[in-house]
Amino acid sequence: MRILRAIFSHGSGRIGGVIVGVYLLIAILGMLGLTPHNPITQYRVDRLHAPNGAYWMGTDLFGRDVASRLMAGIGQSFTVAFFSVAFATLAGTVLGLAAAWLGRRWDGVVMRIMDVLLAFPAILLALLIVTVAGPGTWTSIVAIGIVYTPIFTRVVRGPALSLKAREFVDAARTFGSSSSYIVTRHLLLNLVAPLTVQVTLALAWSLLTEAGLSFLGLGTQPPAASLGLMLSDSRNLMETAPWLMIFPGLAIMISILGFNLLGDALRDILDPKMRRAPA
């Protein structure tokens, strides 16, 4: 509650919070099928209909309602984003803590593997994994999760190393505290703030990556809706039916803006060192 209040008293946090909140609502409606029309029903007579009262965002080449497909697509994209970021957070935190706590050889091995993963551009690595494993929702989730794992590993390992050298950890050792107690209570608990910020920002990137994969035909498979897929379908009809491109494009852009604003606000709120002295 305290954090929500802090977000809403933060200038850009308020905007980001509202955007993300609205998207979440749309995503839930989209997933529950509470859309104005069925997103995959083809209204053949109304093909490529411009936005009007019945079809708020027009219809596509097959006569499907763009607004409904957009809602379903947001639901689909958010599902992939949330699961993939959850995967990356979990894997990255475990690997980062293991690297920092075990040190020496473990640290070297884990971090070199992460360096290799980081050496690939995100979308390329995701493409590689999806190509090997075959397209689909779950492979997208795992692929995007793996792509963002190294970032979480690094975000966790650095502060964990410095926390490990703090005196309260030494103090805990003098009591004979177990490693698992020290790692969870003294390291992880102090990492909640940087992780929260990172999760928010990673959601934005993974939305974008998911859209990219779907655009290339390797993410969500038709006829299911996805923002990337909708953009891909709109390419050849850009001049005759611009609404096909404008709405999913805007949807992607605004969602990423929202997550980034929220992430920046969380960084300001959670990290006292980032608080600037008022000018």
Partner 1 sequence: MIPLLSVSDLRVGFGRNPQANEVVRGVSFDLADGETLAIVGESGSGKSVTALSINRLIDFGGGRITGGAMKLKRADGSLFDLMTATEPQLTGIRGAEIGMIFQEPMTSLNPVLTIGSQIEESFRLHRGLTGGQATAAAKDALDRVRIPDAARRLKYTPNQLSGGMLQRVMIAIALACNPRLLIADEPTTALDVTVQAQIMALLAELKRETGMSMIFITHDIGLVAGIADKVMVMQNGQAVEQGELNQILDSPQHPYTQHLLHAVPHFTNGGTTRSDGRRDKGAGTEPALKVDGLVVRFPLKSSFFSRATGAVHAVDGVDFDLMPGETLAIVGESGSGKSTTARAVLGLVRSTRGSFTVGARKASAQQSALPVQMVFQNPYASLNPRLSIESILAEPVIATGGRVDAGTRVRMASLLERVGLPKNSLERYPHEFSGGQRQRLCIARALMLNPSVVVLDEAVSALDVSVQAKVLELLVDLQREFGLAYLFISHDMAVVERIAHRIAVIYAGQIVEIGDATSVLSKPKHSYTKKLIAAVPTVDRRHEHFELDTRQVPSLVRPRGFEPAPARWERFGSDHMARAEA
Binding site for partner 1 (CB under 8 A): 166-168, 170-178, 181, 185-186, 189-190, 192, 277-278
Query: What torsion, rounded to 10 degrees, do the Cα atoms 219, 221, 224, 227 define?
Result: 30
For the bound state, the minimum distance from the C-beta of residue 89 to partner 1, rounded and expressed in Å, comes to 19
Q: Which is nearer to partner 1, 182 or 227 (CB)?
A: 182
Angle at 24 between CA 43 and CA 219, to 5 degrees: 60
For the bound state, the minimum distance from the C-beta of residue 275 to partner 1, rounded and expressed in Å, comes to 11
For the bound state, the minimum distance from the C-beta of residue 9 to partner 1, rounded and expressed in Å, comes to 15
Q: Which is nearer to partner 1, 25 or 189 (CB)?
A: 189
In three-state form (DSSP H/G/I as H, E/B as E, the rest C), the secondary structure along 129-161 is: HHHHHCCCHHHHHHHHHHHHHHHHHHHHHHHHH
Q: Which is nearer to partner 1, 90 or 171 (CB)?
A: 171
For the bound state, the minimum distance from the C-beta of residue 172 to partner 1, rounded and expressed in Å, comes to 6
Q: Which is nearer to partner 1, 91 or 169 (CB)?
A: 169
CA distance 57 to 73: 14
- Both tokens assigned to 107: 């640290």
Are 137 and 214 in contact by the 8 Å Cβ rule? The answer is no
